[in-house]
Amino acid sequence: MERVVSGIRPTGNLHLGNYFGALQNFIKMQNTHSCYFFIADYHSLTTHPNPADLHQNVKQVLVEYLAAGLDPEKSAIYLQSDLPETAEMYLLLNMNAYMGELERSASFKDKVRTQPENVNAGLLTYPVLMAADILIHNAHKVPVGKDQEQHLEMTREYARRFNKMYHTDFFTEPTAFNFGEKLVKVPGLDGTGKMSKSDTGMNAIFLCDDDKQIEKKIKAAKTDLGPQGENTPFSPEIENIFALFELVSSKETINYFKLKWNNGEEKWYGEMKKQLITDMVSFVNPIRQRIQELSKDSEYLSKVARLGAEKAHESGAETVRKMREIIGFKKFY
């Protein structure tokens, strides 16, 4: 059975981008693949969270994984830091990762620009830690959003390099995966690129948002002055709104509003936003309710995390043991 690995950084509540870029695929794959889904708590240290926030954010992602439909009996659901062999593998892979390629990675360049006061070595070697997460279970497929594509290319490169250096075919070269075939980028509500957590929280719809918050955010989402004629291409703002429709609404609904755009009709954006609010609320509501229930069940959460850690250890420790052997470490005792 093909192996699947993926993770999400615990830096706050999960939003629709995380769901449709990653989590939705996790849920589908757990019935047909051997799956390892983790919470990337080592990765989140690059931004220096305080201990209480770190724990709360890890708990939130665990709860949201389960609320969205991950099944701890089918998949290994675990904390990255509960598989400390990941850190050893990161060290070993770092020996074959080069400064130039790490400095050229788009996410590193982005961080240098946006947080010049905290350009730590963890940020530079972030893609190597990701490769360790993936290769530690020798994964075939990695469900991720479009923004992670370059990291997956680097993972493949590290797998290839290790195999070449030690004349082995030990590592599989894993590929980024989405059920819709193309990796997705869910746009933000404020019209600035991808959906992500912004300071105001108005750019993203979170899985734990209540009806009022969803309504407020969609009402505030940017639109334009209306179609400027018949059959014109969508403006970027309206393209964003339709991208959100595609996630949660039926084909009929989408076609109904597309027709209005194509006919160059005036004054239907109010109706359109009302429909998007209704469909978004029906999508988010059941997940939010499960989030609320699961958050209170500490005993269940600890059972899930323990089971996940055991499953991850069984697979990961064995990979690192074999890797040590290939590299040439031998015990004297």
> Which chain residues interact with ligand TYM by CB under 6 A?
5-9, 17-18, 21-22, 40, 43, 130, 133-134, 142, 144-145, 147-148, 184-186, 194-196
Assess whether 197 carries a catalytic annotation: yes
- DSSP label at residue 186: P
CB half-sphere exposure, 158, CA atoms < 13 A: 32
Q: Which is nearer to ligand TYM, 32 or 192 (CB)?
A: 192
Give the dihedral of Cα atoms 302, 68, 18, 88; nearest 10 deg. 30
- Report how far residue 82's alpha carbon sits from residue 312's, in angstroms, rounded to the nearest whole number: 8
Shortest approach of ligand TYM to residue 205 CB, angstroms? 11
Rounded to 5 degrees, what angle do the CA atoms 44, 77, 296 make? 85
38: helix, coil or strand? strand
Q: Which is nearer to ligand TYM, 41 or 215 (CB)?
A: 41
Q: Which is nearer to ligand TYM, 128 or 294 (CB)?
A: 128
- 274-310 burial by CB neighbour count: b if 16+ within 10 A, else e? ebbbbbbbebbeebbebbeebbeeeeebeebbeebbe
- DSSP label at residue 307: H
Q: Which is nearer to ligand TYM, 62 or 134 (CB)?
A: 134
Shortest approach of ligand TYM to residue 106 CB, angstroms? 12
Shortest approach of ligand TYM to residue 314 CB, angstroms? 19
DSSP string, 237-288: HHHHHHHHHHHHS-HHHHHHHHHHHHTT-SS-HHHHHHHHHHHHHHHHHHHH
Residue corresponding to tokens 């004629």: 229
Shortest approach of ligand TYM to residue 167 CB, angstroms? 27
Shortest approach of ligand TYM to residue 246 CB, angstroms? 12
* Torsions phi, psi for 197 (to 5 deg): -70, 120
Residue among 185, 197, 222, 273 flagged as catalytic:
197
Q: Which is nearer to ligand TYM, 108 or 257 (CB)?
A: 108
Residue nearest to ligand TYM (CB): 21
Residue among 59, 146, 185, 194 flagged as catalytic:
194
Q: At what angle do helices 85-94 and 298-327 cross, to 10 degrees?
A: 40
Shortest approach of ligand TYM to residue 56 CB, angstroms? 16
112: helix, coil or strand? helix
Q: Which is nearer to ligand TYM, 130 or 281 (CB)?
A: 130
Residue among 111, 141, 217, 311 flagged as catalytic:
111
Assess whether 216 carries a catalytic annotation: no
Helix and strand numbers (H, E) in the chain are 15, 5
- Report how far residue 102's alpha carbon sits from residue 83's, in angstroms, rounded to the nearest whole number: 24
Assess whether 194 carries a catalytic annotation: yes
The residues that are catalytic are 111, 194, 197
